[in-house]
């Protein structure tokens, strides 16, 4: 499928856009987990380590997508690596530290909901994927995301009882 040209820049074909979309999703996930790792660090270091590990997995998935883009000669469609320091929050991001069990429970509940959304997003990407190599990679991602959801469920169940209602 030929690229459509607007002015001097070519628009990637839909397969290229799928690769870009998957890469952007993993990059956002990585930043989210890094922020959560920082948030849990002062009071729940074991949860902080889990979030950091999940962030590293996202980073590895992003690297796998970059390697695939390189292999398919599509690297020009992926964004350049960010120039900011990896521990600095991005523009508009604010890290709040977890101060009590109720806040931790709610934050873990939200993290689990977003992780489940991420898994469903990847499943949807596989359903409409037009690149066989990307399809195979996304299938691997889905399994790791299922495991992440399970780990977050365990962290929530073992570390925190549901906060008492006032």
Out of 1.10.3470, 1.10.1740, 1.20.1260, 3.90.930, the CATH code matching 14-77+95-159 is: 1.20.1260
User: Above 90 in pLDDT, residue 77?
Assistant: no
If you write DSSP's letter for every residue of the chain in order, what string do you get?
-PPEEETTEEEPPHHHHHHHHHHHHHHHHHHHHHHHHHHHTTT-HHHHHHHHHHHHHHHHHHHHHHHHHHHTT-GGGSPPPP-S-TTSPPTT-------SHHHHHHHHHHHHHHHHHHHHHHHHHHHH---HHHHHHHHHHHHHHHHHHHHHHHHHHHH-PPPPP-
For the chain, the structural domain boundaries read: 14-77+95-159
pLDDT per residue over 122-161, tens digit each?
Answer: 999 999 888 899 999 999 999 999 999 999 999 988 766 5
């Amino acid at each position: 499928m030929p690229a459509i040209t607007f002015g001097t820049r070519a628009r990637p074909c839909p397969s290229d856009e799928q690769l870009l979309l998957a890469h952007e999703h993993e990059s956002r996930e990585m930043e989210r987990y890094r922020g959560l790792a920082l948030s849990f660090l002062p009071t729940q270091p074991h949860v902080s380590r889990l979030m950091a590990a999940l962030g590293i997995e996202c980073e590895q998935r992003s690297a796998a997508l970059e390697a695939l883009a390189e292999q398919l000669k599509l690297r020009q469609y992926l964004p350049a690596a960010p120039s900011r320091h990896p521990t600095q929050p991005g523009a508009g991001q604010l890290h709040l530290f977890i101060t009590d069990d109720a806040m931790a429970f709610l934050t873990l509940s939200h993290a689990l909901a977003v992780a489940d959304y991420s898994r469903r997003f990847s499943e949807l990407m596989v359903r409409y994927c037009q690149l066989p190599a990307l399809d195979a990679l996304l299938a691997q991602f889905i399994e790791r995301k299922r495991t992440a959801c399970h780990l977050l469920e365990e962290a929530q169940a073992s570390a925190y009882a549901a906060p008492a209602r006032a």
